[in-house]
Amino acid sequence: MPEDWVRIFDTTLRDGEQSAGVNLNTAEKIQIAHQLAKLRVDIIEAGFPAASPGDMEAVSTIAREVRGPVIAGLARTRPADIEAAAEAVRHAEKPRIHTFIATSPIHMEHKLKMTPDQVLEEVRRAVTQARSFVDDVEFSAEDASRSEIDFLVKVYSLAIECGATTLNIPDTVGYAAPDEFGRFVKAILDGVKAPPEIIWSVHCHNDLGLAVANSLEAVRAGVRQVECTVNGLGERAGNASMEEIVMALRTRPDRYGVASRLETSRLYSTSKLVSRLTGVLVPPNKAIVGENAFAHEAGIHQHGILCNRATYEIMKPEDVGAPGTALVLGKHSGRHAFLKRLEALGFELDDDQKEKAFRLFKDLCDRKKTVSDGDIEALVVDEVLAVVPERRFELKEYSVQVAGRGRASASITLRDGTSEVTDAAAGNGPVDAAYSAIRRLVGISPELTSYRIQATSERSDAMGEAVITLRLGDLKAQGRGASTDVIEASIKAYVSAVNRLYALAAAKGEVLNGENAG
Ligand code: KIV
Ligand code: ZN
C-alpha cells in the first residue's frame, strides 16, 4: 500500500506554458524547475518533447540537471512521441513517460476519427511501448469527464494490464461540477480493479472556475495525485492552482485527512518567480499568493487581528512565505542585508550573480532613496538571471523628444557586435518612436503583440518594468526591461525581445534580415 499523501504533479512547464502569450526559454524553464524542486513537488512535467526541438531540449536539460522530483515528459500515443519522451527523460534521476489519448465520444469521433476499439488498441500499444523504456508510466484518458464510465473502466484496466503505474482522470474542458466529479471519480476507482500500488490522479481545468474544488473532491474520493500549476496558469482559463490545493489540504485536515509534502513556505516566492518569468500577473485578490491575500483593511478586522490573529486569519502569511512587513533597503544597506533579502525572496544565486546583483543594487541606490522588494526582484530577474543566448544588440544610448499631442521623436544607439549604430525615428509617443528607430537599426520588423508596464512598488520613484512580446513569422519572443525611467525600461524590453528572436531563429537554422516581417 503506498504511503498516504497527495502527490503534487506540477505541469506549469507544460500545460502552464500553453497559456496564451506565455513563452519560456530553456534557461527560464530550468530556473522554474529548480524552484519547484526546492518547493518539493513530487513530479515536474517538464514539457512535451515531440512538440518542438525547444521542448525536447528543455525537458532533457531539466532531466539532467534537476534532482529530487520525478521528471515527466508528455507524449501522445504515437510511437514517435513516446520515443521522444523516452529520449528526453533518459537522464532523469526518476524518469516518467506520460502518455494520453482522448476517450470521450465527441473527441473519438470528431478529433481522432477512431472507434473505441481503435482507441483501446492505441492504449495497449502506447503504454506497452512506454514501459519498455521506463518503469514509471502515467496514462491519461483525455476528456475523461465527458467519457462513458464503462468505457473508462475498460481503458484504465487495460492501461494497468500493460504496465501503467499512475492513472489520470482529466477534466480537460473544465466542465465538471464538484459533487458530480467526486462521484464520477469514485465510480471509476470502484469499477477498476487496480492493485494498491497504482496511484490515481486528476487534472482539472478552470473554465468554470471549479478546478480547485473539483480536484479537492477527487482527493476525497481517493485520488492521491493532483495535477496543477503555479498561479493556476494553463490552457484557456488555466489549470487548478497548486498553492490553493496545497493550502486547502493543509488548512482543512478535518475535511481532507491527507496532505501534500510541499515546503509551503516557498509557495510565495515560487509564485513570484513564475509570474515574473511568464509575464502573467497575479491578481491582488488571488487566494494564497495575491498581494492582498493577508491584508486586513477594515477597522473591525484590524481590531480583531490585534486581539487574536485567528479571528480573521485561517493561515499565517509565513506558512506560504508571504512577506509580513516588507523590509526597505537603501544606500546604507550593506552586502549582508542585501543578500539576506535575496534569500528571503527565494533567489539562490551563484557568487558571480550575487556580485552583479549587489552592484546593480548599489547603482540603483544612487538613483533612488529606498529600494523595495519589487525593485530587487525586477533587477535580479531582468538583469541578472535573464539569459539571452546571444546578446547581439545592446542599448548604449537613447534620447526622446516629445513635441506635444503625442508626437515624439527618438534617437537610439545600439551596440551591434563590436560596432555602434545610431538611427532616429518619429512616432506616436516616445515609446512608439523609440521602437520605430530600433526596427530601422535591427533590420527586422516584428509585430508587437503585447506591451505592459508596471511599477515595482507604489512609490513615485518606483522602477518601471516593461514586458513585451514580439512576433516575427512563427517566431515569438518575450522581452523584459527594468529601469527607474519607463521609456528606458520599454526600450530594454524591446532590445531583449529582438535578441531572443535572433537566438530562436539561429536555433532553427534561420537567418533574420531585411523585411522578414511577421
Ligand atoms: O487537459 C488535459 O486533458 C491534458 C492531458 C494531456 C492530461 O492536459
Ligand atoms: Zn490540461
Tell me which of 262 and 394 has the higher pLDDT: 262
3-state secondary structure of 398: strand
Give me ligand 1 centre to Cα 156, in Å. 15
Whether pLDDT at 325 is above 70: no
Give me ligand 1 centre to Cα 35, in Å. 23
Closest atom of ligand 1 relative to the 227 alpha carbon: 7
Q: Do domains 7-278 and 393-516 have the same CATH topology?
A: no
Tell me which of 23 and 402 has the higher pLDDT: 402
Whether pLDDT at 473 is above 70: yes
Tell me which of 467 and 203 has the higher pLDDT: 203
Is 89:95 a contact under the CB 8 Å cutoff?
A: yes
Say how far apart CA 153 and CA 108 lie, in whole Å.
16
Residue 203 near ligand 1, beta carbon < 6 Å: yes
Residue nearest to atom 2 of ligand 1 (CA): 172
Closest atom of ligand 1 relative to the 100 alpha carbon: 6
Quote the strand ranges of 440-503, DSSP E.
447-455, 464-472, 475-483
How much is the average pLDDT of 460-473? 86
Say how far apart CA 77 and CA 99 lie, in whole Å.
6
Could you tell me the CATH superfamily of domain 393-516?
A: Alpha-isopropylmalate synthase LeuA, regulatory domain (3.30.160.270)
Q: Find the ligand nearest to 168 CA.
A: 1
Instruction: Report the candidate in 389, 442, 446, 383 with the shortest Cα–Cα distance to residue 414.
Output: 442
Residue nearest to atom 1 of ligand 1 (CA): 172
Q: What is the pLDDT of residues 192-234, one digit of tens each?
A: 999 999 999 999 999 999 999 999 999 999 999 999 999 999 9
How much is the average pLDDT of 386-392? 62
Cell of 42: 513530487
How much is the average pLDDT of 84-95? 98
Global confidence as pTM: 0.83
DSSP letter for each residue of 283-309: PTT-TTTSTTTT---SHHHHHHHHH-G
How much is the average pLDDT of 91-105? 98
Q: What is the pLDDT of residues 130-150, one digit of tens each?
A: 999 999 999 999 999 999 999
pLDDT mean across residues, the chain: 91
Give percent above pLDDT 90 in the chain. Answer: 68
Residue 140 near ligand 1, beta carbon < 6 Å: yes
Residue 100 near ligand 1, beta carbon < 6 Å: yes
Q: What is the pLDDT of residues 405-441, one digit of tens each?
A: 779 999 999 998 889 999 999 999 999 999 999 999 9
Q: pLDDT-derived band of residue 346, with 50, 70 and 90 as boundaries?
A: confident
Q: Find the ligand nearest to 202 CA.
A: 1
Say how far apart CA 376 and CA 383 lie, in whole Å.
10
Say which residue the cell 509575464 belongs to.
279
Cβ-based neighbour number of residue 509 at 10 Å: 6
The torsion angles phi and psi of 450, rounded to 5 degrees, stand at -155, 145
pLDDT at 43 (0 to 100): 98
Question: Radius of gyration of the chain from Cα atoms?
Answer: 25
Instruction: Report the candidate in 478, 7, 54 with the shortest Cα–Cα distance to residue 277.
Output: 478
Q: Find the ligand nearest to 175 CA.
A: 1
Give me ligand 1 centre to Cα 241, in Å. 15
Could you tell me the CATH superfamily of domain 7-278?
A: Aldolase class I (3.20.20.70)
pLDDT at 388 (0 to 100): 56
Q: What is the pLDDT of residues 26-77, one digit of tens each?
A: 988 999 999 999 999 999 999 999 999 999 999 999 999 999 999 999 999 9
Q: Which residues pair with 104 in a beta bridge?
A: none
Give me ligand 1 centre to Cα 17, in Å. 13
3-state secondary structure of 461: coil
What are the structural domain ranges in the chain? 7-278, 335-384, 393-516
DSSP letter for 229, please: B
Within 40-78, residue ranges assigned H as helices are 53-65
pLDDT at 167 (0 to 100): 98
